[in-house]
Amino acid sequence: MATLNTLRTKGGVFLIVVIAVALVAFLLGDLSSLGGGMNSKKMRIGTINGTHVNYIEFLTEAENTTNVLQTLYGQAALQADQIDQVRQSVWESMVIKNAYMPGFEKLGISVGDAEMLDMSNGEYISPIVQNVFSNPQTGAFDPAILQNFVASLEYNAAYQPVWNYLTDQMSSERAMSKYVNLVRAGVYVNSLELASAMKLGDANYNAAYATKSFSTVADSLVNVSKSEIKKYYDEHKDNYKQTAARDIEYVVFNLLPSEEDYTEAAERAEEIAAEFAAAEDAMQYASLNSQSKTDTRYYSEENVPANFAALAFGKDAQPMYGPVLNGDVYTMARVAEYKMLPDTVGAKHILMTPGQTATVDSIVKALKGGASFETLASKYSVDPTVDLGRFAPEQMVEEFADACVAAKVGDIFTVDSQYGTHIVNLTYKTKPVRKAQIATVVYNVEPSATTQQTVYGEARAFLEKAGKNYDSFNAAVAETGAARRVATINSTDRGINGLDEASAVTRWAFNGKKGEVSAILDVDGGDYLIGVIKEAREQGTTPLEAVSERIASILRNQKKGEMIAAEMEGKTLAEVAQLEGATEGVAEDVNFNSFYIPGLGMEPKFVGAVCVSETGKLSKPVVGGTGVYVFDVNAKNGKNLSEADEKVRLESIATSYISERLSQALDDNTEIVDNRVKFF
């Protein structure tokens, strides 16, 4: 309801981090061992264009951002995935600052004070401001929410870091936007490109063809030498760039309740049920003993949860539900209380910040004297949504809902909540109906300490057999019958193959060496994992030995293509079709933009050759991606392209790839060493 509440209730994962990443990402894409001073190599999180980012610096920035988000969203602590998002946002901000901004400055791209003011209170509002300060009901930017927030900076020092963070993000986004638009403005289609496109694209072709696949020539008939492989590799190194990755094999020891645990849980659930049934205050017992948050809402017969319908409103209602086991959870319930309550209420409110007692009293007095609620709300309320409409009481915070339920239509009253002081006018209230408050106790079946020790002992016994190297790991898998799993891990992975909490695995893999066996690692909050690094690939160019077989296959196909082409040379289409292993067909409506040819697949060389061939003339053999072709174009149908339309199409294609091409260009010209995975 308050300004910050409006921001907090926008839902989803942290909006600020998401905005920062979404608006810029398309252009980007064991601490005990740390020693030495703050600038030592071991303390470096990474290096960006020669600027070293040390651990303390990065951690400080992440902590500052965390504090901002906790203030903005009213959270005491962040979840693990939210912490990861904060660190990613901080890293990308550092890349922008150290790699992109210096270049922008050389280009004359800057964001001045007047422009910053315009982005929050002018004609060209920043998309960050528009997203953050939007009305949750309409989704549209609401200047009043922004103005109330800025006004609150004077008396709430905790909000100033939030605003500083937002303005930094606004400035970075605007500079990046200027750069993208600068490049976009330089993209155009010249007359030669247009003429070529018109010539090649202004017709569809039909061609009869005969083809022979590379697979019809045995590999044994083709020799590819190591020197040829090396020569090809040296000439095509740009095709073999790789990111840092680890191939691991691992086994998981799942920590699950044993049969004894289920038996003990059943006994304990019965004991709790007996205590629960005898408790004088069912809701109090549930609040003190349930392993999940107790639901204190009241339900009518129409909307009571299905499993509690008979308990609360059935003709032969039982005094107790459960204990019922569903999965690993026992549930038991009692009706705590019945009340006559309205299903729906309606209200208007003026939200005041805490500490404005005298002003609140004056407003209430004025409203009771006949003053306009809307007029006073527009002047004093920090929540621009004055009329809250009609709502179920449980949709609002408990204090606000209880006050509305207790009031009469037309009443003007005040109530304090976590958001401030509400001056409320109750506008609607349905006739009370019988509702039940159901006290629910949940008891989880969990692995006991004995079970945990047993599973850990199994993992330790496996590690004793597997802990030397890759061979000993394989031997241990074979001996124990453990289920081997495999995964390829990138440095940013926090989960692998269904294991959501596996950041310890990624950190181990990128700090280890090929053949190294891990210690027992905790994953998914209780399971144990032991892995071995099968292959370690660093960022850069893939080594020759890793791609030699792939290159050998390319070279073999090239030589096979030469052999087949020589076999086809001088033959008619019919004679080629009679060659052993050859096939024939007709390709229809082929044009220069054709991507896929039915019966042939993706063969761009075939498409290109067809589009530049004369009608009625047999082609020379064309070596494609999977075989060799000869063809005869037997029909050419004009498409009557418009130069204006074709120019628009070509420019659209060119601009649609700007983000991708800029991202690649910036990446190619930015020297980044990212070692975050070794720390977090």
Q: Map tokens 């209230």 to a residue.
A: 429
On whether the CB atoms of residues 322 and 334 are closer than 8 A, the answer is no
**How do residues 158-168 score in pLDDT, each as one tens digit?**
788 888 999 99
How far apart CA 437 and CA 393 sit, in angstroms, is 14
* Predicted local distance difference test score (pLDDT) of residue 418: 80
What is the torsion angle, in degrees rounded to the nearest 10, for the CA atoms of residue 658, residue 663, residue 668 and residue 673?
170
For 171, list phi and psi in degrees, rounded to 5: -65, -45
Set out the domains of the chain in order of their start, with CATH numbers: 3-185+672-678 (no CATH), 203-240+545-639 (no CATH), 245-256+448-538 (3.10.50), 259-341+440-444 (no CATH), 345-429 (3.10.50.40)
| Cα Rg of the chain, angstroms | 35
42, two tokens: 């071991």
CA proximity to 320, closest of 443, 440, 442:
440
251, two tokens: 């086994």
3-state secondary structure of 218: coil
Q: Which residues of the chain have pLDDT under 70?
A: 1-40, 73-74, 136-137, 316-317, 639
How far apart CA 307 and CA 310 sit, in angstroms, is 7
**How do residues 429-468 score in pLDDT, each as one tens digit?**
999 999 999 999 999 999 999 999 999 999 999 999 998 9
On whether the CB atoms of residues 333 and 412 are closer than 8 A, the answer is no
306 torsion bin: left (phi>0), alpha (psi -120 to 50), beta (else): alpha
CA proximity to 53, closest of 673, 677, 680:
673
**How do residues 233-286 score in pLDDT, each as one tens digit?**
999 998 998 888 999 999 999 999 999 999 999 999 999 999 999 999 999 999
Element (H, E) at 672: strand 672-674
pTM: 0.64
* Predicted local distance difference test score (pLDDT) of residue 317: 65
For 485, list phi and psi in degrees, rounded to 5: -120, 155
CA proximity to 650, closest of 183, 186, 185, 187:
187
3-state secondary structure of 198: helix
